[in-house]
Structure 1
Amino acid sequence: MNKKKLFVGTLMLALMLSGCTKQDDRSAINVKAHNNSSTKVNKKVVEANNKKENSRLICFNKKIKSATSGILLPQDDGLKQGSSNLNMRFENNPDQSIVYYSVGESKQKFNDEILKKELPYAILTMRSNMTNEKMEQLIGYRDAKDDAGLHQIKLNDSITAAVDAGAGQRYLHFVKGNWSIIVQASSIMNQSAEKPALKLLNLIEKYGLPKTTGKSTIYITVGKSKGSLNNVFKWQLNDKYYQLDAHSLTTALKMLSSLE
């Protein structure tokens, strides 16, 4: 009798444990399904928020495109935050178009006069009706062979930079593809030219550079101050000259990678 009771008790315990396991499995499946559903919802929310934040940029871009045919504009404002207060103003004539990007304490209408008082975090310029010779002068490309005799340092496995110095400044020059890149740092202020150069290479690896049909340049002046636009990109695309001046190197690359 005792053996029979023991067997029945053991059997009931096994069934109970089996039921718990199945319930746990069902719970795990339900949790996983809920998490997957939540992830999809979260992605949709993020996408919707991004689209909403970029709605001002998209709207302003349409206004500019309607006034200037053929201009390439960033589809990403390059900002980590502040997109909801993105402000833009635009200057245009037959030979030149300039777009000013700023973040204000409040939203302003496109091309509002008050925006002239806001410090831009980026300025995009497009110039046309220029000779190739004039464009080359503006771009100011420096060839690697011009660095003959200068001290060389390795930035990474594929990039070697030339080092020059003078008047309390240190210059780092290297070439990547069609792009001649110069980083200027103050020796007096003990600024590093290598760090921003490596940061730039990492950002290029992540975002890429805009399409060009000629020689192009990047000029970085190390150090930031209020309103400074120390990251300058110049390039030629067919018969047009482009230039982007930006406060932040990351912002610049994000904007350039989204040109359309």
Structure 2
Amino acid sequence: MKKKLIYSFILLAGISLAACGGKSKTVESSTSNKSTENSSQSTSSTSSTTKSSSIKSSTENSASSESKSSESQSAVKAETNAPAKQADAVLSQLSTAFPNDRLPQAILTSKTADYLTAATTSTADQENFRILYYAENHAIEVNDIVVNDLQPIASFEKKSYDSNETAASVVNQIIDNGGSKIDLGYGITGYQQGAAGSSYLSWQEGNWSLVVRASNIGGEVAEPLAKEAVAYLETAMLPAPQNIGQISLTASTSDSYQNNSIVWQKGLIVYTIQHFDALQALKMTVSTNQ
């Protein structure tokens, strides 16, 4: 009987130990699973944070790139518009200074620097004044003292006289129908002759007399420039002289603004435009009609 009780006791003890062992393993397993789950959540959270950071970084980079691109485009636009704004400001200031006359608007060429400026005589005398035009690589104020050391590219001058006859004599119109006839196109005939190492090609358009001078020594030819001038004036309108006007162009290339002259009378007043470029001298004169 004692032996049976002992065996029963041992059996119950074994079962109890086995049950405890299983429970421990279950707890450990549960703890492990929770640890794994927490680790997974941590990894997922880290991944999410990294992804969010990446998206934020990408957005910031994109915004930065767009900002830089916008700034670059604005800088280019400002740089492109700066010469035009400077020219408008100069021309507006000159028109305000001399409001009684139509001043030239077309001065710069593709060969000149981009920034226009000017120097004028006193505005106190509205009947007699002169404007010198300059083209530089940066903006300069009108009548800035620095232009004294610069080379003008063009000029506009107004002078008043006591009589029409005196004004007409200052224009010094030249009409020469001698020499060889040359067809300049558009029904216009020019007359060419030589003198003192140069050739002169002359023609008339309305009250205007025109002449192109070419140097024989330099092998220059007057005809191409004359034809170019005729073709341009078919589509552009010069101011109407009262009573006469003289256009003197030079086939040679020069930096001197006095190379080409356009002079016309308006009663007692004589206007003179000069420009280093022959065709631009015409365009500058035409622009006084604008």
Shift of 1:210: 2.1
Matches within 5 A, 1:174-193: 174-193=203-222
The match for 2:243 among 203, 207, 214 is: 214
The match for 2:225 among 187, 190, 196 is: 196
- For residues 82 and 188 of structure 1, do their structure 2 counterparts lie closer, same or farther at Cα, with a shift above 3 Å needed? closer
| Counterpart Cα distance in 1 of 2:243 and 2:118 | 29
* Amino acid across the alignment from 1:122: A
Q: Percent identity?
A: 24
**165-174 or 82-91: bigger deviation:** 82-91
Q: Paired residue for 1:100?
A: 132
* Amino acid across the alignment from 2:232: L
1:173 aligns with 2:205: no
Query: Is contact 1:54–1:77 with CA below 8 Å preserved after alignment?
Result: no
Matches within 5 A, 1:51-66: 53-66=83-96
The match for 1:72 among 102, 109, 118 is: 102
| Counterpart Cα distance in 1 of 2:111 and 2:227 | 25
RMSD after superposition: 2.5
Q: Comparing both structures, which one devotes a greater share of its residues to helix?
A: 2
Report SS of the residue matched to 2:185.
coil
Report SS of the residue matched to 1:251.
helix
* Amino acid across the alignment from 2:165: E
Query: Is contact 1:57–1:75 with CA below 8 Å preserved after alignment?
Result: no
Higher Cα Rg, which structure: 2
Report SS of the residue matched to 1:102.
strand
Matches within 5 A, 1:21-40: none
* Amino acid across the alignment from 2:89: C
| Counterpart Cα distance in 2 of 1:49 and 1:136 | 46
| Counterpart Cα distance in 2 of 1:179 and 1:158 | 16
Query: Is contact 2:250–2:278 with CA below 8 Å preserved after alignment?
Result: no
| Counterpart Cα distance in 2 of 1:75 and 1:105 | 19
| TM-score, normalised relative to structure 1 | 0.71
Unaligned regions of 5+ residues in structure 1, if any?
A: 1-47
| Counterpart Cα distance in 2 of 1:130 and 1:80 | 40
Query: Is contact 2:194–2:200 with CA below 8 Å preserved after alignment?
Result: yes
Unaligned regions of 5+ residues in structure 2, if any?
A: 1-77
- For residues 236 and 163 of structure 1, do their structure 2 counterparts lie closer, same or farther at Cα, with a shift above 3 Å needed? same
Shift of 1:81: 7.1
- For residues 172 and 237 of structure 1, do their structure 2 counterparts lie closer, same or farther at Cα, with a shift above 3 Å needed? same
Query: How many residue pairs end up in the alignment?
Result: 210
Shift of 1:183: 1.0
Q: Paired residue for 1:126?
A: 158
Structure showing greater relative contact order (alpha-carbon pairs closer than 8 Å, 6 or more residues apart): 1
Matches within 5 A, 1:107-122: 107-122=139-154
Query: Is contact 2:113–2:136 with CA below 8 Å preserved after alignment?
Result: no
| Counterpart Cα distance in 1 of 2:282 and 2:186 | 22
| Counterpart Cα distance in 2 of 1:113 and 1:254 | 28
| Counterpart Cα distance in 2 of 1:180 and 1:253 | 13
